[in-house]
Chain A
Amino acid sequence: MQVSVQRKEKDFQGMLEYYKEDEPLLIRNLITDLKPQTVSATVPCLPAYILYMCIRHADYINDDQKVHSLLTSTINGIKKVLKKHNDDFQLTSFWLANTCRLLHCLKQYSGDADFMTQNTPKQNEHCLKNFDLTEYRQVLSHLSIQIYQQLIKITEAILQPMVVSAVLENESIQGLSGVKPMGYRNRSSSMEDGDNSYSLHAIIHQLNTFHSIMSDQGLDPEIVQQVFKQLFYMINAVALNNLLLRKDVCSWSTGMQLRFNISQLEDWLRGKNLQQSGAAQMLEPLIQAAQLLQLKKKTSEDAEAICSLCTSLSTQQIVKILNLYTPVNEFEERVTVTFIRDIQMHLQERNDPPQLFLDFKHMFPVMFPFNPSSITMDSIHLPASLNLEFLSKV
């Protein structure tokens, strides 16, 4: 017995066999009833590797019906879980990571030379033998897009209510709060009931939570980057749209606060090595609005400086901010109509489309670049906690 078990372990080829009638149990234990924390201490994306090993055995025995049935049940199982938990960030991120990993496995072990360049010889032994699953890869790609969109919807619903108070109104620089535009001593209207105000720290804490959950679950770094680029686009749009509606935040002191708060977000991106994500660039319009609030607004040279700096703001947005601008005290001069005319004259040749507000619901298209794994199937261990004892290692 001992020898045969050892031999069994030794000869494990990285496939998992199961009886057809156990498929519903497999889908229930590995997908619909699975809690991410059950597998948190194992290799990231373990469910994806297990599913691939099952697919591989069905391919190995040349059973196309079993492959069809398993892939269809897997996809439906994942859709079912996500439909049921459509506001659960952790679960949605978990299944995005696993669906993408399964997609990568079907490419990496497809036998297609383009996807095998980083495979070890041992991994090349674990390729599919009988079936070409290109069409199922397409379906998994569509499913990944749906899951990604659900993840963005969830994260934006959490972050959006925080943006205005945390980024635009948060008074992180002490002492500046006294310097309020004339007539606007108390906090702005959006702070009627104090409990819906968030500090800059709160929004950075939330970004940290998103980042650590996605990273721990093994979500591809390229996808994590796209998530934060999308979120920072939303942060910029919500904050700028709000600023374009409010005289009480269009002042020199708010410009100063805003620039500081944005710099904290930029620091956070650098700290998470997200410089390449394009997320920081999403804040450019808001950065320029903050600088515009701090620039001098008197001479024609000032007008030229503003026009050459505010390249990410539309003419309408620049004029609107200047019209809303409120001096902090009686010593500071108001922006004159002449000055604004001067700005409009400078900006005439831009011919930019008349756009004032940004579409904060805009969603960038998502890409899932191929990301092969260095893990070999025969090194995968099935924890007892998954209750998959009906799977046999082959």
Chain B
Amino acid sequence: APARPRPRVLLKAPTLAEMEEMNISEEEDSP
């Protein structure tokens, strides 16, 4: 029987707000 495809790994996503914070901190870090 064909090998069952491996289950896909769920990638945890930050919320839009968390992404915004990440973005702000990146912009502050960048020179």
Tell me whether B16 and A132 are in contact (CB under 8 A). Answer: no
If A72-B14, A139-B15 touch, does A79 touch B9 (CB 8 Å cutoff)? no
List residues of A (104-144) whose CB comes within 8 Å of B's CBs.
Answer: 111, 128-136, 138-139, 142-143
For this complex, into which size category does the number of interface residues on chain A fall?
20 to 34
Q: Which residues of B lie under 8 Å from residue A111 when comparing CB positions?
A: 5, 8
Q: How far, in angstroms, from A64 to B9 measured CA to CA in the complex? A: 9
Cβ contacts B20-31/A at 8 Å (1 or 0 each): 101100000000
Q: Which residues of B lie under 8 Å from residue A71 when comparing CB positions?
A: 13
If A72-B22, A76-B23 touch, does A67 touch B11 (CB 8 Å cutoff)? yes
Tell me whether A130 and B8 are in contact (CB under 8 A). Answer: yes
Is A209 located at the chain interface by the 8 A CB criterion? no
If A72-B22, A76-B23 touch, does A143 touch B8 (CB 8 Å cutoff)? no
The interface centre, meaning the residue of A72, A79, A80 with most chain B CB atoms within 10 A of its CB, is A72
Q: How far is the CB of A172 from chain B (nearest CB, A)?
A: 46
For this complex, into which size category does the number of interface residues on chain B fall?
10 to 19
Q: How far is the CB of A304 from chain B (nearest CB, A)?
A: 54
Tell me whether A131 and B11 are in contact (CB under 8 A). Answer: yes
Q: Which residues of A lie under 8 Å from residue B9 when comparing CB positions?
A: 64, 130-132
Q: Which residues of B lie under 8 Å from residue A67 when comparing CB positions?
A: 11
Q: How far, in angstroms, from A72 to B14 measured CA to CA in the complex? A: 8
Q: Which residues of B lie under 8 Å from residue A136 when comparing CB positions?
A: 11, 13
Tell me whether A139 and B11 are in contact (CB under 8 A). Answer: no
Q: Which residues of B lie under 8 Å from residue A391 when comparing CB positions?
A: none
Q: How far, in angstroms, from A262 to B16 measured CA to CA in the complex? A: 41
Is A347 located at the chain interface by the 8 A CB criterion? no
| A→B interface (CB under 8 Å) | 64, 67-68, 71-72, 75-76, 79-80, 111, 128-136, 138-139, 142-143, 146
A sample of 17 inter-chain contacts (CB < 8 A) reads A64-B9, A75-B16, A76-B20, A79-B19, A79-B20, A80-B23, A128-B8, A129-B5, A129-B8, A131-B9, A132-B9, A134-B10, A136-B13, A139-B14, A139-B15, A139-B19, A142-B15
Beyond A79-B16, A132-B8, A133-B13, 15 additional contacts (C-beta under 8 Å) are: A67-B11, A71-B13, A72-B22, A76-B22, A79-B23, A128-B8, A130-B6, A130-B8, A135-B12, A135-B13, A139-B13, A139-B14, A139-B15, A139-B16, A146-B16
